A and B are shown apart, each in its own frame.
Chain A
Amino acid sequence: MYRYSPSNCIILPNLLTFQLCDGFVASVEARLNQVKLAGLVTLVSRTLSPANALDFTSKILGARARLGVDAAMCLDMDIVTIKIKLGDTETAKTMLEAAKEQLSSVKPSESVIFSKYYKAAAEYRKVGTHMVQWLL
């Protein structure tokens, strides 16, 4: 059985991927599993520049109530990663601290949320070119 994952999906050209998500997926997003939708948003945002990815992810996060806590947390962690890329480590730190408190209320079965949180936390701890910061 074909199992979906970022490494075995077909990466479409950036613009087409974005248009697919912004057009077709946007029209049915309310009917999708919201955590899966967050996964799609992550895939698309990775094909965009950090500034565009921030705009795109923030736009999706505008419907926070519909997304629910789990999907919103996934997208919040994407924002943290993007903020780190943009050099805004202060905001990233604040968001990570807020997410850490929320993690205790997340069901352990939702491993994708924990995965996203710890990925963002690891990214936060390694800003810079190859660990120069660890010397400080």
Chain B
Amino acid sequence: MTRLHCIMTMFSFFCIYVVQCNLQVVGPANEFYSSALMFLSYTSVEELTAEDRYTLATDMALASITGDDIYNFGDVLATPILASLKDTPNEWMLHVVETMNAGNVEQLNHVINAHKAQYFAQPALAAKHDSVVKQKIVLLCLVNVAFERPSHERLIAFSDIATRAGIPVDQVCHIFHRI
């Protein structure tokens, strides 16, 4: 039994290795996102089948949320593709994208908590929640804090940023290092 278990474990690791080797030639999310946006600029969404629309909308929402260098959600929100998620099990993804676009940390946490199981069931979201999603929303929040104010009133206290971004004041400085 132990020997069989050992062989099965080794086989599983081998499979994972093979899959990873195969998948290293594809991705990243940024590349998918830009290709998909270009596809939409040459294709009418109405020409796609309902299933294709749903799949593409799901993939684009995931790519925009987890893509390392994707901060402009306006591109995808300007297309009608994400509307295909309305009244589907993945409608929460649309809300995540919209709240990230608004840089609203509190609302994002609310959406994630309301759909915690579905959110963390997505491998890309589960793996990139701390490393990408959290940092991205904080940066987007900072941008929104700055641009909500008139151009002559953009001296912003660290405490204001910390409150809006939901982070300790001593971590605000780290945000600026990332910009």
Contacts and interface: CB of A to CB of B under 8 A. Distances in A.
Given A115-B42, A118-B35, A127-B23, A6 B48 contact: yes
Interface residues of B, number: 33
A61 interface: no
How big is chain A's contact interface, by range?
20 to 34
Contacts of B124: 130-132, 134-135
Interface stretch (B5-13, B24-32, B160-168): B24-32
A114 B42 contact: yes
Given A122-B35, A125-B31, A133 B26 contact: yes
A28 interface: no
B114 interface: no
Interface stretch (A18-26, A52-60, A68-76, A86-94): A86-94
Given A114-B42, A122-B35, A126-B32, A135 B122 contact: no
Contacts of B127: 135
Contact of A136 (B23, B47, B50): B23
A85 interface: no
A75 to B, nearest CB: 17
Contact of A7 (B22, B47, B128): B47
Contact of B42 (A87, A118, A125, A130): A118
Nearest to B21: A136
B36 interface: yes
Contacts, number: 95
B25 A93 contact: yes
A111 interface: yes
Contacts of B35: 118, 121-122, 124-125
Nearest to A129: B123
A89 B123 contact: no
Contacts of A121: 35, 38-39
A122 B50 contact: no
A89 B43 contact: no
B27 A115 contact: no
6 A-B pairs with least C-beta separation? A125-B32, A118-B39, A133-B23, A122-B35, A121-B35, A115-B42
Interface of B: 19-20, 22-29, 31-32, 35-36, 38-39, 42-44, 46-50, 59, 62-63, 66, 122-124, 127-128
17 contacts: A5-B46, A5-B47, A7-B47, A7-B50, A114-B42, A119-B39, A124-B26, A127-B26, A130-B59, A130-B62, A130-B123, A131-B59, A131-B66, A131-B122, A134-B29, A134-B63, A135-B127
Interface of A: 5-7, 87, 89-90, 93, 111-112, 114-115, 118-119, 121-122, 124-128, 130-136
